[in-house]
Amino acid sequence: MQSENADAATKPAAAESDLGARIREFRLARKLTLRDLATRAATSPGFLSQLERGQVNASVGTLRRLCEELGVTLPDLFTDHHANGARILRKRDRPEIHVSDTSAKYLLSQKPLRNLEVYVAEFAPGGTAGEAYVHDDSQEILLVIAGSIVLELDGVMHHLEAGDSAEYRTSVPHTVHNQSTEPAELLWIVSPPTI
């Protein structure tokens, strides 16, 4: 473990104490204890506790290690993600998760406080999410926004129209097919996150 004595030498200013609160918020959102995060980031639980309470400063190296373990970027620690009450994501800026000639899947939920995943997916006529698959054991909700799809769930086919939804565990084999002649658009919500 690395000593943080140099970091603890000065008391942080008010803006820097917000940093500690953000680190704590990210840690709790990921269900990590002080000891878990401190061990992963090669620091001590005592130092991390003081940092979260705004009693000490941290080196850039320590902050980078914390960010890596929390799955956030250094700027995420200094940005007040609640400042405007909403985070806007333009359609053109959506991160692409899966794209093929007949389907596209885009992540809508953003870091740093992503306790669930929200996707929008577009399926051209004949488009598919591929073979049925399983991943982790999360709760998944699918809502058909436009068009119609066939949800294959544990080998059973379910025809869903615009406005219909389905809820299932991601540990159950599942996939989606657009067997219609019209495009389909879906909203997927997964909790807890699987990526």
Contact between 57 and 14 (Cβ < 8 Å): no
Same domain for 179 and 104, yes or no, is: yes
Place of tokens 């992503």: 114
Shared domain for 53 and 143, answered yes or no, is no
Residue span of the structural domain in which 97 resides: 91-191
From CA 128, how far away is CA 101, in angstroms rounded? Answer: 10
Q: Flag whether 2 is in a domain.
A: no
The answer to whether 117 touches 191, Cβ cutoff 8 Å, is yes
Among residues 78, 101, 121, the one where a domain terminates is 78
Q: What is the CATH number of the domain that holds 111?
A: 2.60.120.10
Asked whether the whole model's pTM tops 0.85, one would answer no
Boundary (domain end) residue, out of 32, 54, 78: 78
125 and 34, same domain (yes or no): no
Cα separations in angstroms, 53 against 25, 72, 89, 98, 139: 11, 20, 31, 40, 34
- pLDDT digit of tens for each residue in the chain (195 aa)? 444 444 433 344 445 568 898 899 888 888 889 999 999 999 999 999 999 998 988 888 898 899 888 888 777 777 665 545 566 677 877 777 766 788 888 878 776 556 788 889 999 999 999 899 998 888 999 999 999 999 999 999 999 999 999 999 999 999 999 999 999 999 999 988 776
Residue ending a domain, among 56, 78, 100, is: 78
